[in-house]
Amino acid sequence: MNTIIEPFRIKSVEPIRQTTSEEREIYLEKAGYNLFLIDARNILIDLLTDSGTNAMSTEQWAAMMRGDESYAGSESFFRMERVVRDLTGLKHVIPTHQGRAAERILFTVLCRKGHVVPNNTHFDTTRANIEFTGARAVDLPIAGAADTQARLDFKGNMDVAALERLIESEGAQNIPLVMLTVTNNSGGGQPVSMENIAAVKRVTTQHGIPFYLDACRFAENAWFIGQREAGFAGFTPKQIAQKMFSYADGCTFSAKKDAFANIGGLLCTNDDRVAVLETNLLILTEGFPTYGGLAGRDLEAIAVGLEEVLHPDYLRYRIASTGYLGRHIADHGVPIVEPPGGHAIYIDAARMLPQVPKHQFPAQALAVELYRHAGIRSVEIGSVMFGAHAQHELLRLAIPRRVYTQSHIDYVVEAILEVNQQRDRIRGLAIESEPPSLRHFSARFRRL
Does position 189 interact with ligand PLP (CB under 6 A)? The reply is no
Tell me, residue by residue from 299 to 338, as one string, x for binding to ligand PLP by CB under 6 A and - for no binding: ----------------------------------------
Using CA atoms, how far apart are residues 162 and 211, in angstroms rounded to an integer? 16
Tell me, residue by residue from 209 to 228, as one string, x for binding to ligand PLP by CB under 6 A and - for no binding: -----x-x------------
- Counting residues that bind ligand PLP (by CB under 6 A) gives 15
Cβ at position 59, least distance to ligand PLP in Å: 22
Nearer to ligand PLP by C-beta: 79 or 127? 127
Nearer to ligand PLP by C-beta: 98 or 204? 98
Q: Map the footprint of ligand PLP across residues 79-108, applying CB under 6 A.
A: 98-100
| Residue-wise DSSP of 134-156 | T-EEEE-B-GGGG-TT---TTTT
Q: Looking at 33-41, 118-126, 164-172, 295-303, which segment touches ligand PLP (CB under 6 A)?
A: 118-126
Q: Which of 51, 57, 383, 420 binds ligand PLP (CB under 6 A)?
A: 51
Q: How far apart are the first and last CA of the chain?
A: 48
Burial classification of residue 162, based on how many CB atoms lie within 10 Å of its CB (0-12 exposed, 13-18 middle, 19 or more buried):
middle
Does position 126 interact with ligand PLP (CB under 6 A)? The reply is yes
Residue 292 CB partners (closer than 8 Å, separation 6+): 94, 95, 96, 97, 101, 282, 286
Q: Is residue 55 a contact partner of residue 403, using CB atoms and an 8 Å limit?
A: yes
Longest Cα–Cα distance of the chain, Å, equals: 62
Q: Which residue is nearest to ligand PLP (CB)?
A: 99
Does position 125 interact with ligand PLP (CB under 6 A)? The reply is yes
Q: Is residue 229 a contact partner of residue 23, using CB atoms and an 8 Å limit?
A: no
The partner residues of 269 in beta bridges, in order of sequence, read 92, 250
Using CA atoms, how far apart are residues 264 and 98, in angstroms rounded to an integer? 5
Does position 400 interact with ligand PLP (CB under 6 A)? The reply is no
Using CA atoms, how far apart are residues 161 and 41, in angstroms rounded to an integer? 49
Cβ at position 53, least distance to ligand PLP in Å: 11
Does position 254 interact with ligand PLP (CB under 6 A)? The reply is yes
Cβ at position 169, least distance to ligand PLP in Å: 26
Rounded to 5 degrees, φ, ψ at 372 are -60, -40
Give the binding site for ligand PLP (CB under 6 A): 51, 98-100, 123, 125-126, 181, 185, 214, 216, 254, 256-257, 265
